[in-house]
Amino acid sequence: MSDRPAAPDRPRHPAAPDRPRRLARLVPQRVRGSVGLQRAMLLTGAGLTALLLLAALLAPWLAPWGHAQLQDGGALFGSRQPPGPGHPLGTTAGGYDVLARTLWGTRTAVAVIGLSLLLSVLPGTLLGLFSGYLGGWADRLLVGVADALYSFPSLLLAIVMSVVISGGRSSLVGGLTAAACSIALVFVPQYFRAVRAEVLRVKAEPFVEAARVIGTGHLRIMFRHVLRNSVRSLPLLLTLNAAESVLTLAGLGFLGFGIEPNSAAEWGYDLNRSVSDVTSGVWWTALAPGTATVLTVLGVTLLGESLNDLADPRLRRRRAPAASTSPTAAKEPTRA
Amino acid sequence: MTLAPPLDGRRDGPHGGQRDGAGRGRFRPAVLRSPLARYLAARLLLVLPTVLLLLTAVFFLMRATGDPVTTAFADRLTPAQLQQKLHAAGYDRPLLTQYLDYLRQVATGDFGRTATDNRAVGEVLLTYGAATLELACWALLVAVAVGVPLGALAARHRDRAPDAVLRLAAVLGYATPVFFVGLLLKLVFAVGLGWLPVAGRASVQTELRLQDLADPTGLYLLDALRSGDGAAVADVLRHSVLPALALGLLLAGVLLRLVRTHLIATLEAEYVVAARSRGVGARRLLTRHAARPALVPVVTVLGLQVAGLLGGAVLTETTFEWKGLGYQLAHYLTVRDFAAVQGIVALFAVVVAVVNFLVDALAALIDPRVRY
């Protein structure tokens, strides 16, 4: 006990990456350390993500109307009104204001991102940690299940899940939970795989053995020594997860398994409604929600990718003496 | 001092372990007659549990949502009548019995009949599967034709203007939902310019004509070619362009990034540097030396993308009213038609598992290092 270093939470090992920095400090730091295209991508990504958060925060003040508002002072907005005074982006077939629904939609998107991250990161990481560290038949079973889920079309899993949870279409809370759970079902296996692979690697490192030699308990080794060194690939996965949850929510909404229009504004649903509009030449109902989806996914993806790219050379330099890792396919985004 | 040797020995331990994957091939060949055959057999065995697992999951998940009889008649029948209907359809039996029954049916190739419109599920799968297959083939064609050359281009001009533009385009392609791409394509090419049809697989006349064929395959292009009617072929082709582009461009973005990443990685490999120092030209380096090793991960991940392709097909089919499996799946889900949903999902699971198996086999054929 007494010979333990003062700060035991810092495993001193050359292979151990620095302790995770706070995201708030990470972005400016990376901006300083970047040049050219990478810097532009990072700034664009950070900017778009900030814009999304800002829009979600300020939606009640930014949006000209409520997300389910059909009339103003007794006068109906009207269906498929072209952009004009009062309705800068026109109205939908259902008589909602397009701009208002697009702005309110940022709230739904942010809520789903947050909820789905919460629901996938924790179980995925813990399962990966325990499974990789303990091994045995449970590990093999979990790997099998994860592989099966991973290889299946994620959107279909999400649809089946959302039908199970909310009977297809539902209130704000029900719809959000359904979407988040469906996305979690898709992403838990991915976190599981990523963390498990790292745990297997770290488990064999001498510092883990050293910890065991001095009598450290398994739980402590798992959470103190192994986990902290196994979450290297998580930041990229997190942003992928966020991007994917927006896309999945939109996909669910588009297929009619999303959130009801008067519960919350959801871009996928609006796009679904606009399919028939497009055929008759009404362009404004599709453009705004679609562009909002693209910008959201683009922002999150660019942010994550450029952060990852910028972190990579540093990692590579540090790990240069060890065998260079082959570029893994797992890093590529897959998508339903 | 005396402690030093064992410590060193220990330190070697994990490193030896890390190299295990590469070393395993060296220890075992004497035991294995044909490593490739053995690897493929082991891999094939993995297909079954995957499919079984997904079937099980979907079966119990769908049962958890309610049954089609209640969904259809709950507000029209008295509880007693409802009970009678449930009994007739067998939905009141213990879940496990239903499950085992279902597995037995599937094992004999009988997927049952759809509950809502009383068609044989097998027939539904064949009819709409052909449409989805046609769409998927077109999309793959677009993806490979666009993604591979552009990826190679980006790798060749790494970190310069073409690379930057292409990478941004790929990210943008990833960020755009496939149905939004579809809607935009429709707006511009179908509604705005009027060059191409808005939706469907063919015009009504062509569809009627193709149905008259003696033995329709369901693949419209094939049927149209067989009918020998030039107008029909043109009509089918014109209807395929926009859906194929929407779904294909999605995959093309993924493919572009994959090809770029792996080509760059292999272009940096020592043997490529060695070849360059021997005076091998840039084009030959790319096509001869770097392409083949880069092909393995590309093929593997492309195999994984089949799952994405099927998911994207569901959305694309809905956007373009392309009457395929995805379009039908969305319909059957809303009416809670278990038999149909399970059949379609089972087919998707089998397709994904089989494609993944084929992809692994292909990877083993391309690169001997894969078969350990």
pLDDT at A7: 44
pLDDT tens-digit profile of A36-55? 667 777 888 888 888 888 87
Taking each helix axis from N to C terminus, what angle separates A36-62 and A23-32, rounded to the nearest 10 degrees?
140
Does the distance separating the beta carbons of B54 and A251 come in below 8 Å? no
Closest chain A residue to the Cα of B192, Cα to Cα: A281
Residue A177 lies in a domain: yes
Q: Kindly state whether A298 is in contact with chain B, defined as any CB-CB distance less than 8 angstroms.
A: yes
Which runs of E-coded beta strand occur in chain A? 71-72, 75-76
Residue A70 lies in a domain: yes
Number of domains in chain A: 1
Residue A115 lies in a domain: yes
Q: Which domain holds residue A252?
A: 57-311
CATH number, domain at A85? 1.10.3720.10
Q: Kindly state whether A156 is in contact with chain B, defined as any CB-CB distance less than 8 angstroms.
A: yes
Residue A45 lies in a domain: no
With a threshold of 0.85, tell me whether the complex ipTM lies above it: no
With vertex at residue A181, the alpha carbon angle to CA A178 and CA A187, rounded to the nearest 5 degrees, is 145
pLDDT tens-digit profile of B249-285? 888 888 888 888 888 877 777 787 888 788 777 777 7
Residue A69 lies in a domain: yes
Interface test with A, best of B187, B250, B258, B270 (most A CBs within 10 A): B187
Report whether A63 contacts A264 (CB < 8 A): no
Interface of A with B in 193-212 (CB under 8 A): 201, 204-206, 209
- For residues A181 and A178, what is the distance between their CA atoms, to the nearest angstrom? 5
pLDDT tens-digit profile of A198-221? 888 888 888 888 888 888 888 888
Residue A230 lies in a domain: yes
pLDDT at A311: 66
Residue B281 CB contacts under 8 Å (≥ 6 apart), including other chains:
none
Residue A195 has pLDDT above 60, yes or no: yes
Quickly count: other Cβ atoms within 10 Å of residue B7's Cβ: 11
Does the distance separating the beta carbons of B171 and A156 come in below 8 Å? no
Q: Kindly state whether A168 is in contact with chain B, defined as any CB-CB distance less than 8 angstroms.
A: yes
Interface test with A, best of B65, B263, B316 (most A CBs within 10 A): B65
Give DSSP secondary structure letters for B68-133.
HHHHHHTTTS-HHHHHHHHHHHTTTS-HHHHHHHHHHHHHTT---B-TTT--BHHHHHHHHHHHHH
Task: Report chain B's mean pLDDT, rounded to a whole number.
Answer: 75
Residue A14 lies in a domain: no
**Chain B residues whose beta carbon lies within 8 Å of the beta carbon of residue A290:** 176-177, 180, 183-184
Residue A31 lies in a domain: no
Which of the four pLDDT bands, split at 50, 70 and 90, describes residue A191? confident
Pairing of strands A75-76, A71-72: antiparallel
pLDDT at A51: 85
pLDDT at A3: 43
- For residues A277 and A293, what is the distance between their CA atoms, to the nearest angstrom? 19
pLDDT tens-digit profile of A137-178? 888 888 888 877 777 777 877 777 777 776 655 566 777 787
- Is this structure's pTM higher than 0.90? no
**Chain A residues whose beta carbon lies within 8 Å of the beta carbon of residue B334:** 168, 256
pLDDT at A76: 64
Q: CB-CB: which of B53, B61, B180 is closest to A271?
A: B180
The single-letter code of the amino acid at B132 is T
Which of the residue ranges A115-129, B95-109, B330-344 has the most confident prediction, judged by mean pLDDT? A115-129
Which of the four pLDDT bands, split at 50, 70 and 90, describes residue A312? low
Interface of B with A in 304-343 (CB under 8 A): 304-305, 307-308, 310-312, 314-315, 318-319, 329-330, 333-334, 336, 341
Q: CB-CB: which of A152, A255, A332 is closest to B54?
A: A152
